[in-house]
């Protein structure tokens, strides 16, 4: 499994992803699930991936190759005229990879992968998309300003209840770490280190990037503090009366 979240705030875009991949509980590895394309002062694109690792790596490799050999196929991630076209490019690449992986008669389910793509291209607004294994995609809106992929359920209630697009980057990271901590505690196939990336709107460069390790002091503060805070919050509610 995997857990990745992309959020759109008034200030910009925040991305977080775990790094655990597994083929059974007895076969785990660390792989980065966050990929970035940047042309300074012109565009920043961030892609988070979940699902079959062979598929996600193939998609990223193809997107990378297109970036590096511009005469080969256009547009590349560094050349798409809009975020919408970049999402289409990712979707088309997913379809291409899955078609190649699953020849006729074989189910494509095992090769499935989903993606969150966010970023901004000069002259346009920051945008955030979720791309399905079928290659089609949806865009975040004011009503639904974030996307999750992978093991989404454990960490969703706190996002639904506490996220607000007016949050600062610092508060958003706190919220994401609470959401990740809930997930880490319940699903062994989601694990640190956790990658964090911040893109500040209209900056056209990566604003902040960090790999948060399991023993990171802030991560531990959040994890322990949240257990305590939850218990206090729970105590503050009135008990049931018969």
| Chain residues in the site for a second copy (CB under 8 A) | 153-154, 156-158, 160-162, 168-171, 173-175, 177-178, 182, 185-186, 208, 218, 221-222, 225-227, 229-234, 236-242
Work out how close the CB of 215 gets to a second copy at its nearest, in angstroms, rounded to a whole number: 16
Distance CA 36, CA 104 (A): 33
- Return the number of the residue (105 or 217) whose C-beta is nearest a second copy: 217
Q: Shortest gap between Cβ of 217 and a second copy (angstroms)?
A: 11
Least distance in Å: CB of 224 to a second copy?
Answer: 10
Which residue's CB is nearer to a second copy, number 27 or number 228?
A: 228
- Tokens encoding 199: 């893109």
Give the sign of the dihedral formed by CA 215, CA 160, CA 200, CA 53: positive
Taking residue 157's Cβ as centre, other Cβ atoms within 10 Å add up to 11
Is the previous residue joined to 213 through a cis bond, with omega within 30 degrees of 0?
A: no
What is the distance between the alpha carbons of residues 14 and 198, in angstroms, rounded to a whole number?
Answer: 5
Complex with a second copy: residue 68 or 235, whichever CB lies closer: 235
Q: Where are the beta strands (DSSP E) in the chain?
A: 3-8, 12-17, 20-22, 28-30, 34-39, 43-51, 113-121, 127-131, 137-139, 146-150, 194-200, 206-212
Q: How far is residue 239 CA from its own chain's centroid?
A: 38
Least CB distance to a second copy at residue 149 (A):
15
Least Å distance between CB 218 and a second copy?
Answer: 6
Between 99 and 220, CB nearer to a second copy: 220
Q: Give whichever of 39 and 210 is closer to a second copy, judged by the CB atom.
A: 210
């Amino acid at each position: 499994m995997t857990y990745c979240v992309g959020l759109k705030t008034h200030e910009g875009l925040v991305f977080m992803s775990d790094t655990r991949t597994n083929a059974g509980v007895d076969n785990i590895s660390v792989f980065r699930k966050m990929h970035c394309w940047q042309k300074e002062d012109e565009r920043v694109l961030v892609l988070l991936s979940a699902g079959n690792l062979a598929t996600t790596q193939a998609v990223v490799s193809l997107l990378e190759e297109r970036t590096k050999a511009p005469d080969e196929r256009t547009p590349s991630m560094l050349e798409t005229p809009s975020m919408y076209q970049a999402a289409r490019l990712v979707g088309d690449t997913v379809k291409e990879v899955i078609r190649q992986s699953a020849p006729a008669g074989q189910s494509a389910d095992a090769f499935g992968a989903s993606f969150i793509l966010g970023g901004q291209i000069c002259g346009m607004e920051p945008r955030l998309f979720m791309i399905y294994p079928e290659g089609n995609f949806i865009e975040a809106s004011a009503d639904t300003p974030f996307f999750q992929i992978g093991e989404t359920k454990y960490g969703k209630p706190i996002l639904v209840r506490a996220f607000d697009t007016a949050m600062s980057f610092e508060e958003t990271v706190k919220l994401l770490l609470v959401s990740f901590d809930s997930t880490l505690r319940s699903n062994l196939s989601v694990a640190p280190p956790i990658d964090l990336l911040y893109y500040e709107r209209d900056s056209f460069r990566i604003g902040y990037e960090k790999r948060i390790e399991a023993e990171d002091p802030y991560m531990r503060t959040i994890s322990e503090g949240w257990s305590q805070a939850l218990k206090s919050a729970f105590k503050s509610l009135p008990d049931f009366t018969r």
